[in-house]
Amino acid sequence: MTGIEHYLSIFTKAVFIENIVLAYFLGLCSFLAISKKIDASVGIGLAVIVVLTITAPINWFLWEFLLDKGALVWISSDFQDTDLGFLKLIVFISVIAAMVQLVEMFMERFSQSLYNSLGIFLPLIAVNCSILGGSLFMVEREYTISETVVYGFGSGVGFFLAIVALASIRYRIRYSNIPPRLRGVGMAMLLTGLLSMAFMAFSGIDL
């Protein structure tokens, strides 16, 4: 299970078949709020790719060497039965909040233009469920470190694809005659439903 096909399969699965937004409903808050504008959606999509690709592997290391049952054996064999799994939520969310802050500082220092385009979205991402969800799925599916990197990146790309697609559709229907109370979020939900139906066509594809 180490061939390149295996990783390609995890990647396509994360992007198309088990798209984090359209199949698992994660990150919908920012998905709906920001998809009004295409540039902004591209911005937050890129920021999600960056943060997910960084936080998922870091949380993998913490899980594997600190929190999982028997993970502390590398300190001493007395910790064979120690299970700190109940701390995972609080640890993961702090890592995510800290990483978002770090990524923001790095960007500000080294790439002013990227910071200007992504800067305002980064704080929002700390509470985007797709990031925490990525880490939690990684634990639940028992991925290895390289699988985690691929999965994190793939989920980010999936989010990017979904939000840019929805923003483009919303842009196209600006002047459509929608019933007044359905405008905005209601219509966005129906459109997401159709998008999700389209993505379901990918299910069953296996590399």
Partner 1 sequence: MELFNSESKKIVSDPINVNNPISLQVLGICSALAVTIRLDQAIIMTLAVVFVLCSSNVILSLIRNYIPARVRIVIMLSVIASLVSVVDELLKAYLYDMSKQLSVFVGLIITNCIIMGRAEAFALKHGPSKAFLDGLGNSMGYGLIIIVVSFFRELFGAGTITLPDGGAGYVLWSIPESWYAAGYENIGLLVLSPGAFIILGLVIWIQREFAGVEEDA
Least distance in Å: CB of 93 to partner 1?
A: 5
Output the smallest distance, CB 170 to partner 1, in A.
Answer: 8
Confirm or reject binding of residue 24 to partner 1 (CB under 8 A). Answer: yes
Contacting partner 1 (CB under 8 A), which of 36, 46, 114, 117?
Answer: 36
Q: Which amino acid would we find at residue 71?
A: A
CB under 8 Å to 51, separation ≥6 — which residues? 96, 99, 100, 103, 122, 125, 131, 156
* Binding of partner 1 by 54 (CB under 8 A): no
Picking from 27, 45, 43, the residue whose alpha carbon sits closest to that of residue 153 is 45
Joined tokens for residue 206: 């296996």
Number of residues that bind partner 1 (CB under 8 A): 48
Comparing CA positions, the residue from 140, 135, 167, 165 lying closest to residue 152 is: 135
Whether 16 contacts 165, CB under 8 Å: no
Per the listing, tokens 């005659």 go with 177
Cα–Cα distance, 156 to 15 (Å, whole number)? 8
Helix, strand, coil percentages in the chain from 3-state DSSP, rounded to 5:
75, 0, 25
Residues 57-116 contacting partner 1, CB under 8 A:
86-90, 93-94, 97
- Of 109, 180, 204, 206, which one interacts with partner 1 (CB under 8 A)? 180
Which residue of 189, 201, 205, 207 would you call a contact of partner 1, by CB under 8 A?
189
Q: State which of positions 130-169 bind partner 1 (CB under 8 A).
A: 131-133, 136-137, 140
Using CB under 8 A, which of 17, 28, 72, 118 touches partner 1? 28
Between 127 and 164, name the residue whose CB sits nearer to partner 1: 127
**Binding stretches for partner 1 (CB under 8 A):** 22-29, 32-33, 36, 86-90, 93-94, 97, 126-129, 131-133, 136-137, 140, 170, 179-190, 192-194, 196-197, 200
